[in-house]
Amino acid sequence: MGKRRQFGYVRKLPSGRFHASFVSPGGGARQNAPHTFKTKTDASRWLTLVEADISRGTWLDDRAAAETFGNYARAILRDSPKIGVRWRETCERNLRLHLASLVDVPLRELTASRVREWHAGALRGSGGRTSISQSYRFLRMVMNTAVREGIIARNPCQIPGAGTVRAAERPVATPAQVVALVDAINPRYRTAVLIAAWCGLRRGEIAGLRVSDVDLIEHTITVRKARVEPLHDRGKSFDKDPKSEAGKRTIAIPPHVVPVIRLHLDEYAGKDRLFVSRDGSPLRGDSLYQAFVRARKKVGLDDLTFHDLRHTGQTLAAQTGATLADLMKRLGHSSMAAARRYLHAVDGRDREIAKALSELAAHGDVARLPRHITMRT
């Protein structure tokens, strides 16, 4: 016959040993001690320690910690509303290709040393640095969730810099090269190239534009939605809100682009959407990209990607004197880190500025400088 306690439950087994259990916080499932006890006092002492951990907020759910990383990670991908379609597909792929050795490991056995060994092995393998970095970031996110949910005490992902990859410097097209691309591409896509280059829109944002998003009186474009195309099921494309509130933005259109947009509205736009396929259906991002690939080949810009057009426009904007806040607004960034990279164009002009200052001084009062100073310059 078991005896009720204020916390937990102890009962004597036919073997003469004692079994202890308790109901997890919040009215959850009943949890059993990991082993039986020689005496009732030992069983009660174990329950006292558990109760103390719960009161301090340090108790860990041992049953949940026995769940495998793979099952827990898939549940997060399924349930988290903040994970977009493309990132979900990326994580699912990386689970199969790069995290396969960890999917059957219980969460409580994913130690810092085990993560370090996995990461070192992944770097020695055939996987690319970018995909390994993505895999590590996903692993870290999953384990952070496990910490928040009281399943593990500490995130084992402790490798400095493992989740970042220093990307190669993106190419910047010149205004003349943008013109060449516009001339070379199918006329249906000319406006898309110009909006990417001079307004800084992403390909999905361009595909998601509506006719009503263009104001030719105020010369603005408003980004309200982005078109998403799942890699494994193109037929299920849909429009969604930008990732952050900053992504919803109104951008001034450079005056030289306005006539081209006006012509596009007359000849190529759909009834509702700014960009449509020949059959009137929403423009597929892949169709735009393939047209761009053919155009860049014609003009000898094989290394330029469509996203580099966005980089080009913002770099040129930085050169005109745009501030960090200006760039964040045009790009739709909610943090300064992403926008700051475009200011390197301004930093790179420092030597030119210094030279120009000397040229200016040469026409001024530089002759008044002491002889020992002018001799050193």
| pLDDT, tens digit, 9 for 90 and up, residues 265-321 | 999 999 999 999 988 899 888 889 999 999 999 999 999 999 899 888 888 777 777
3-state SS of 40-85 is: HHHHHHHHHHHHHHHHHCCCCCHHHHCCEHHHHHHHHHHHCCCCCH
pLDDT for residue 62: 73
pLDDT for residue 74: 95
116 as an active site residue: the answer is: no
More confidently predicted of 274 and 348: 274
Q: Is 348 left (phi over 0), alpha (psi -120 to 50) or beta?
A: alpha
330 as an active site residue: the answer is: no
pLDDT band of 10, cuts 50, 70, 90: very high
Rg (CA), the chain: 30
pLDDT for residue 262: 95
Q: Catalytic pick from 119, 188, 273, 310? A: 310
310 as an active site residue: the answer is: yes
Percent of the chain with pLDDT over 70: 82
pLDDT for residue 57: 65
72 as an active site residue: the answer is: no
Residue range 335-345: average pLDDT?
Answer: 61
pLDDT band of 369, cuts 50, 70, 90: very low
User: What is the sign of the dihedral through the CA atoms of 32, 37, 42 and 43?
Assistant: positive
Residue 375 has pLDDT above 50, yes or no: no
Residue located via tokens 């059993």: 32
Q: Catalytic pick from 11, 307, 344, 349? A: 307
Q: Catalytic pick from 98, 119, 202, 296? A: 202
307 as an active site residue: the answer is: yes
Residue range 321-349: average pLDDT?
Answer: 66
- pTM (two decimals): 0.60
